[in-house]
Amino acid sequence: KQEVTQIPAALSVPEGENLVLNCSFTDSAIYNLQWFRQDPGKGLTSLLLIQSSQREQTSGRLNASLDKSSGRSTLYIAASQPGDSATYLCAVRGADKLIFGTGTRLQVFP
């Protein structure tokens, strides 16, 4: 059974810092891995999608990497801003299902 864990559970940093959020999964037989952002009381917004054959994806200040063999993914946020404050979730997709991690609650203060 696939299990997805995210570390840290919460993070509070000053504006401008570069951040690394971690995601680990137990079953490397995945189709893809997706990072989401969730603002309080809102739905999930897709940030980056990495296919199993890819090593990384970039979008603006965000960079996500995938190491399938070790069951790990990282989300790198460059030059963090207060607007980045949200919960970040990673999710891995097997044959059909998308299993979510527990999330990292990020707060970036001015």
Partner 1 sequence: DAGVIQSPRHEVTEMGQEVTLRCKPISGHDYLFWYRQTMMRGLELLIYFNNNVPIDDSGMPEDRFSAKMPNASFSTLKIQPSEPRDSAVYFCASSLLAGNTGELFFGEGSRLTVL
Q: Under the rule (CB under 8 A), what is the footprint of partner 1?
A: 31-32, 34, 36, 42-46, 49, 51, 89, 91, 93, 96-100, 102-103
Least distance to partner 1, CB of residue 14, Å: 27
Would you say 62 or 98 has its CB closer to partner 1?
A: 98
* Cα distance between residue 67 and residue 86, in whole Å: 25
Would you say 80 or 86 has its CB closer to partner 1?
A: 86
Instruction: Specify whether the CB–CB gap between 23 and 5 falls below 8 A.
Output: yes
Least distance to partner 1, CB of residue 18, Å: 26
